[in-house]
């Protein structure tokens, strides 16, 4: 058991139905009978069009919502168990952080380092420990020099990095990014994605990234595609993105390189394997064109 990777999230037949105004559950389920598991150290992207249930799924994992049906186990604790108390929930939340979409609406304090300290302060840590964690977290997102700045004067990407630092300061094992790049410009997006990747690779933090951007999803180690509250695909990016026609049906796209190869395949050309990255696509095309020229 020791060398085996631990399961950090185990979802079994999860269903979630939003309550309407009267408190009844008449709406169609936002998440319906979903089962999956996340292993420690994974880097997962969740895709899906608006309303596919991907955000709801994240909010279930972070205990913002309680499943209507099904069993959910987070870091070895069953959160759907009857004896799971509020104390247990807050204890777990320090381990599973969440970065939201709008960077403005998750920063609490008027000074960057005070904001990063917010989580550790809530945990009741000693002052010296808070100071250590704040400095460490700001360093991890490359924002040390902004420690005494006012958050509202920073760019979107910088604000989002502060939000990530605020989560890191709680030393989580898992971080959920709920469309955290969708309001950023390309530079901000690149900064945030680079941090995500580094945290996953170097700190061993499990990353779950919900996004609309296919190029971001292609960088994950695993992609889950949601549709109508259910999992439509779950696998390696190269496998998932090879289903180009099906993705189009779900209102999604594949990265442009994959789309290009797909178009060429439809025109009668063939390629080996599932090229995914820009480099892989270039090589596949060069091989095909080179081969063609040699004939």
Please, which of residues 24-53 interact with other proteins by CB under 8 A? 48-51
Q: Which stretch binds other proteins (CB under 8 A): 8-16, 27-35, 152-160, 222-230?
A: 152-160
Residue 267 binds other proteins, judged by CB under 8 A = yes
- Cα angle 35, 38, 43 (rounded to 5 degrees) comes to 130
The smaller minimum CB distance to other proteins, of residues 17 and 117, is found at 117
Residue 117 binds other proteins, judged by CB under 8 A = yes
- What are φ and ψ of residue 182, in 5° steps? -70, -25
Please say whether the beta carbons of 70 and 31 come within 8 A: no
Q: Which of 41, 67, 120, 229 binds other proteins (CB under 8 A)?
A: 120
Near other proteins in 180-219, by CB under 8 A = 182-183, 185-188, 212, 214-215
The smaller minimum CB distance to other proteins, of residues 81 and 282, is found at 282
> Taking phi first (over 0 means left), then psi (-120 to 50 degrees means alpha), and beta for anything else, what does residue 292 get?
alpha
Look-up of token digits 């595609």:
225
Rounded-to-integer distance, Cα 85 and Cα 8, Å: 19
* Residue among 195, 192, 203 at smallest CA distance from 101: 192
Query: Smallest distance from the beta carbon of 3 to other proteins, in angstroms?
Result: 32
Rounded-to-integer distance, Cα 283 and Cα 262, Å: 15
Rounded-to-integer distance, Cα 188 and Cα 158, Å: 7
Pattern 54-93, other proteins, x by CB under 8 A = --------x-x-------------------------x--x
Residue 18 binds other proteins, judged by CB under 8 A = no
């Amino acid at each position: 058991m020791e060398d085996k990777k631990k399961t950090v999230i185990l979802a079994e037949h999860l269903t979630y139905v939003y309550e309407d105004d009267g408190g009844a559950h008449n709406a169609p389920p936002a998440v319906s009978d979903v089962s999956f598991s996340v292993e420690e150290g994974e880097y997962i992207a969740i895709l899906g069009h608006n309303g596919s249930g991907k955000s709801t799924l994240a909010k279930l994992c972070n205990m913002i919502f309680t499943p209507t049906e099904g069993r959910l186990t987070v870091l070895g604790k069953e959160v759907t168990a009857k004896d799971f108390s509020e104390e247990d929930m807050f204890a777990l939340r320090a381990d599973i952080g969440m970065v939201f979409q709008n960077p403005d609406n998750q920063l609490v304090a008027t000074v960057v380092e005070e904001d990063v300290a917010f989580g550790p302060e809530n945990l009741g840590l000693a002052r010296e420990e808070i100071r250590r964690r704040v400095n460490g977290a700001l360093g991890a997102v490359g924002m040390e020099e902004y420690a005494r700045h006012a958050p509202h004067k920073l760019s979107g990407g910088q604000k989002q990095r502060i939000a990530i630092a605020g989560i890191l300061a709680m030393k989580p094992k898992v971080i959920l990014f709920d469309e955290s790049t969708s309001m950023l410009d390309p530079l901000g997006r690149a900064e945030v994605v680079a941090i995500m990747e580094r945290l996953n690779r170097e700190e061993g933090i499990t990353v779950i990234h919900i996004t609309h951007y296919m190029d971001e999803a292609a960088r994950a180690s695993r992609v889950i595609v949601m549709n109508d509250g259910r999992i439509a695909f779950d696998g390696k990016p190269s496998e998932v993105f090879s289903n180009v026609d099906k993705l189009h049906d779900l209102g999604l796209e594949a990265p442009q390189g994959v789309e290009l190869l797909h178009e060429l395949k439809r025109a009668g050309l063939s390629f080996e394997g599932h090229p995914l990255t820009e480099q892989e696509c270039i090589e596949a095309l060069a091989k095909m064109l080179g081969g063609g020229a040699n004939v």
